Amino acid sequence: MLQATATKVQWDPDKKQWRVRIEFGDEVIKRLLPNSPKDASEDSLRSLAVQTAKDEGYAVEPERVEITR
């Protein structure tokens, strides 16, 4: 599994869902986090971001996930 260089989670106001952005060098993967309420806890968002990255073949350390509210 490749180690992601950056992982960010932010609220997408147009889609009304959280979006995770996984970066590995110049490659960027963006995925929505369905079924996540706007007031979801940071721990929940981190877990979803880590699982989404894992599903895409990337390793992410939960403490390195940046969350923007």
What percentage of the chain exceeds 90 in pLDDT? 96
pLDDT for res 23:
98
pTM for the model: 0.93
User: What average pLDDT is seen over the chain?
Assistant: 96
Hey, how many other C-beta atoms are within 10 angstroms of the C-beta on 36? 18
Total domain count, the chain: 1
Hey, how many other C-beta atoms are within 10 angstroms of the C-beta on 8? 15
Range of the domain at 57: 2-68
The 10s digit of each residue's pLDDT in 13-46 is: 999 999 999 999 999 999 999 989 999 999 999 9
pLDDT for res 24:
95
Asked if 36 and 16 touch (Cβ cutoff 8 Å), the reply is no
